[in-house]
Amino acid sequence: MATFNDFGLDQQIIRAISDMGFEEATPIQAQTIPTAISGKDLVGQAQTGTGKTAAFGIPLIEKANTNDPDIQSVILTPTRELAVQIAEELNKIGNFKGVKALPIYGGQDISRQMRALKQRPQIIVATPGRFMDHMRRKTIRLQSISIVVLDEADEMLNMGFVEDIETILAEVPESRQTLLFSATMPKRIQALAQKFLREPEFITVKAKEMTVENIEQQYMELAEKQKFDALCRMLDIHTPELAIVFGRTKRRVDELSEALLKRGYIAEGIHGDLNQAKRDSVIRKFKESTIEVLVATDVAARGIDVSGVTHVYNFDIPQDPESYVHRIGRTGRAGKTGLALMFVTPREIDHLKSIEKMTNRKITRINVPTFAEAIEGQQRLTIDKLLETVEEKEYLAYKNSAEQLLEEIDSVTLVAAALKMLVKEPNTTPVKITGEAPLRVKKAHFDGKKGGGGGNYRGGGSGGGRDRDRDRNRGGGGGGGSRPRKEGEGRPPRNNAERSFKKRNRNKTSQ
C-alpha cells in the first residue's frame, strides 16, 4: 500500500491529509496521483466511496500556484450538493498550502458568487449551467485554466449537460489537462473521453465486482402495495444509524418522507424541485444526524458522502444497473460496512437479474418480515438501551420506586411490563402512497444494448416524473430549435402501457 509520502507531495499537503485521518492512499489514489501530477490526461474508474475526490483533488492542489491570482483548475460536477462537498474536501487538503476551492452553482445568488470570486480561489467546483453563466458574463476567465476535471461525467450526460461541457471545453486553452472520473463507465463515457481527452490513460481499479464487498446486498420480492409497511418493518428491525431510501420520482420522495414522518421516523426528502436553501438544510441535518432517514431521488444523492450511512433502501428498483451501483454506494464508504436492500415487484425480476449480471454479484433474497419479527427488532434495541443505562448508572434517582415496586410484584413480571412500555411496536398509521407501475424498460435497453429508437436506455416507466436536477438558472435561451430534446422534456410516451400509466398517475395526483 502506498503512503502519501511516496508521491513527493508538498509537506503542507501531507500534513493536511494526515489531519484528515488518511493513512494510506486508496488504490485509485495510488494509481492516479502520479499520473495526474505528470500532466497526462486520464480516465479514472473505481468503486463508490473509494476516494476519487482526493484522487483528483490532491494533484490539483499539488499543482496549484498560490502566487498566481488566476483560476487554475475547474471541476465540473452534476449537482450543487456535490460541488459543495468537493469544495469542502479540497479546502481541507489545501488548507496549509493556502489553496482555495470555491463552489459555484445554480440557485445561489450570482452577485455573492462574484464577490467570492474576488477572493481569488485557485480552483472552481461548478455545475455546468452556472459555470456557463459566469463564462458569458466574463466573471470567470478561462484563459488561465490548465486542468479540467469531469466528476460523475455519466450523470452530467444523463442530465443533458453535454453541450454545456462541450462549450466550456472549447473555451479552455487546448493545452489543458483533462481528468474524468466515475464509479461506472458506460460506453458513452468512453466515447466522451475519446472526444475530449488527449491520449488518456485509462486507470481502472480492477475489482471482481462493481460494488465494494463491504456492502451486504439483499432484495425482497413483494407487491407494490406491501412496500411501505415492509420498509417500516425493516427500519424497525435494522434500526439504522442513518439510512437513505431511494424513490423513483419526486412525488414518490415527497409521499414517502411524509408517510415516514407520520409513522414516527425522523425523515426528510430531497430532490431537484426543492429550492437550494431547503436542499442545503436537508443535507446538513442529515450529516448532523438530526434526520435519520433521507428519502432521495437518484440525482439528489449522486456522489454524496455522508459517513454513518449504514443502510440504503431501494424502495423502487433503479432505472438501470449503473444507478444501482451509485445508489448503494452511499453506504459502505471508506472501508465501513453497510447494508443495501432493494424492493422488487414480481414483474421486475428481470431487472434484478440485469443488475446482478452487470455488477457480477448475487443479491441475496430475503423474506418480507412478519409483524413479530419487527417487534423483535425493536425489543432488541430497547434491551440494548436498557443495558446501556445500567452501565451508565443513570438510574439512581429511580432506585427507591423500584424497590417499592419489587415488594409487590416479582422482578420478571415487572421488567417485562417495563419493556412492553418501552418497545416501539410497529406503527400502522394509515398513509397515502400513490402506486407506481413496475419499471418497464425493454430488456435490451436495460442491458445497455441500444435498441431501435431513442438510443437511450434510461427513462422508461417513470410516469413522466423523471427527476432531473438540472441547474435551473442556465444561461442563454435553452429553447433553441436545434437543441436536442433533453430527457424527460416532453418525450412522447413510448408505448401503450406507459401512456395509460401516465393517465392513471395524473388522475391520482389530481385527487
Ligand X SMILES: Nc1ncnc2c1ncn2[C@@H]1O[C@H](COP(=O)(O)OP(=O)(O)OP(=O)(O)O)[C@@H](O)[C@H]1O
Q: Which residues bind ligand X (CB under 6 A)?
A: 22, 24-26, 29, 46, 48-54, 183, 303, 305, 307, 329, 333-334
In 10 A of CB 476, how many CB atoms? 12
Q: According to CB under 5 A, which one of 27, 303, 438, 463 is a site residue for Mg ion?
A: 303
Identify the three-state secondary structure at position 111: helix
Q: Of ligand X, Mg ion, none, which one does residue 183 interact with (CB within 5 to 8 Å by kind)?
A: ligand X
Q: Which residue is nearest to ligand X (CB)?
A: 51
Radius of gyration (Cα) for the chain, nearest Å?
Answer: 25
Closest to ligand X by CB, 62 vs 305, is 305
In angstroms, give the least distance from the CB of 72 to ligand X: 21
Closest to ligand X by CB, 24 vs 171, is 24
Query: Which residues ranging from 389 to 428 are in contact with Mg ion (CB under 5 A)?
Result: none
Identify the three-state secondary structure at position 406: helix
Q: Of Mg ion, ligand X, none, which one does residue 305 interact with (CB within 5 to 8 Å by kind)?
A: ligand X
- d(CA 481, CA 49) in angstroms, rounded, equals 40
In angstroms, give the least distance from the CB of 508 to ligand X: 34
Q: Of ligand X, Mg ion, none, which one does residue 31 interact with (CB within 5 to 8 Å by kind)?
A: none
In angstroms, give the least distance from the CB of 502 to ligand X: 32
Give me the amino acid identity at 269: G
- Residue 52 contacts Mg ion per CB under 5 A: yes
Cell numbers found for residue 502? 401516465
Closest to ligand X by CB, 49 vs 426, is 49
Instruction: Decide: 28 and 205 in contact? Cβ < 8 Å.
Output: yes
Q: Of Mg ion, ligand X, none, which one does residue 22 interact with (CB within 5 to 8 Å by kind)?
A: ligand X
Stretch that binds Mg ion, among 93-101, 298-306, 370-378, 439-447 (CB under 5 A): 298-306
Instruction: Decide: 304 and 81 in contact? Cβ < 8 Å.
Output: yes
Closest to Mg ion by CB, 246 vs 265, is 246
Cell numbers found for residue 122? 485557485
Q: Of ligand X, Mg ion, none, which one does residue 122 interact with (CB within 5 to 8 Å by kind)?
A: none
Q: Of ligand X, Mg ion, none, which one does residue 235 interact with (CB within 5 to 8 Å by kind)?
A: none
Closest to ligand X by CB, 321 vs 465, is 321
Q: Which residues pair with 76 in a beta bridge?
A: 126, 150
Closest to ligand X by CB, 48 vs 91, is 48
Q: Of Mg ion, ligand X, none, which one does residue 272 interact with (CB within 5 to 8 Å by kind)?
A: none
- d(CA 403, CA 266) in angstroms, rounded, equals 36
- In order, the DSSP letters of 144-206 are T--EEEEESHHHHHHTT-HHHHHHHHHHS-TT-EEEEEES---HHHHHHHHHHSSS-EEEE--
Q: Which of 5, 52, 6, 62 is nearest to 29 (CA)?
A: 52
Closest to Mg ion by CB, 125 vs 433, is 125
Size of the site for Mg ion (CB under 5 A): 2
Closest to ligand X by CB, 43 vs 183, is 183
Q: Which of 161, 162, 157, 178 is nearest to 73 (CA)?
A: 178
Cell numbers found for residue 8? 513527493
Cell numbers found for residue 288? 448532523
Q: Which residues lie near Mg ion (CB under 5 A)?
A: 52, 303
